[in-house]
Structure 1
Amino acid sequence: MVTINKQTNRPFYEQLVIGIKEEILQGILQPGDRIPSVREMAKDLLMNPNTVSKAYKILEAEQVLVTVKGKGTFVNQGHTTRDEKRIHQLKQQFNVLFIEAKHLQVTNDEIHTWLKEATQELGGDQS
């Protein structure tokens, strides 16, 4: 189950979006799996339902989730398409993080280690 860190500066809805994506990457959630309703998730995470709804809407817009009227919300079974605009934004965010890391004198070897660790944790491609 997704956990929300209430001590961080990252908005709760963003944490929920990332948490659901992470559970999909780790295989905890599979395509076609039903996820809790907005109310159920809000109750489980002790969050405002509007916050959960915002996260679900983002995930639906990104084609990660699909809602079937009267049945619930599910992990999308279809293939998502590459969203070049979002990939470009992600690259810009990565560049900012890279600049911050280099400013803090993080070595390239440390950065490579971080990427390998993240890849192993999320079960992604090893290349």
Structure 2
Amino acid sequence: MKKIIIKLALFSTLFISTTHQTQARLDIPDFPAGHNILFYARFPRTSTFIADLISAFLPAILAIAGFLTVIFIVISGIQFITSSGNPEAAAGARGRLTFALVGFAVIILAFAITQIVDRIFLGSGVAPP
């Protein structure tokens, strides 16, 4: 096992020094700081109807998802309280609560991941100091 780890460590050091040497340097005047010029050179960003439509409705979709999550949490809380010792009803209410929270987390994470990918590859947003 130690031999494999040592071989992997030595093999991975081969790529550390070559990445800096193979990176291209492009000096383009008046290009905003924080933008990834290499990605723009390969895939120029153009505004499309679908992208504009999604970005226009996305805040409303997130607001509706948050509102529905609160409603499902309240409903499952009421069902959990009124189950009054019935383990099947309590388990059903607990399951609905879990699914509501997981669904909302998936929606928020999907939005966050798209924003992070957009800032990394397309360079929108604030440049790091």
Please tell me the TM-score bracket, short chain as reference: under 0.3
Q: Tell me which protein shows more strand as a share of its residues.
A: 1
Q: TM-score, normalised by structure 1?
A: 0.23
The answer to which structure, 1 or 2, has the higher relative contact order (CA under 8 A, 6+ apart) is: 2
* Larger of the two Rg values belongs to structure: 2
Q: Tell me which protein shows more helix as a share of its residues.
A: 2
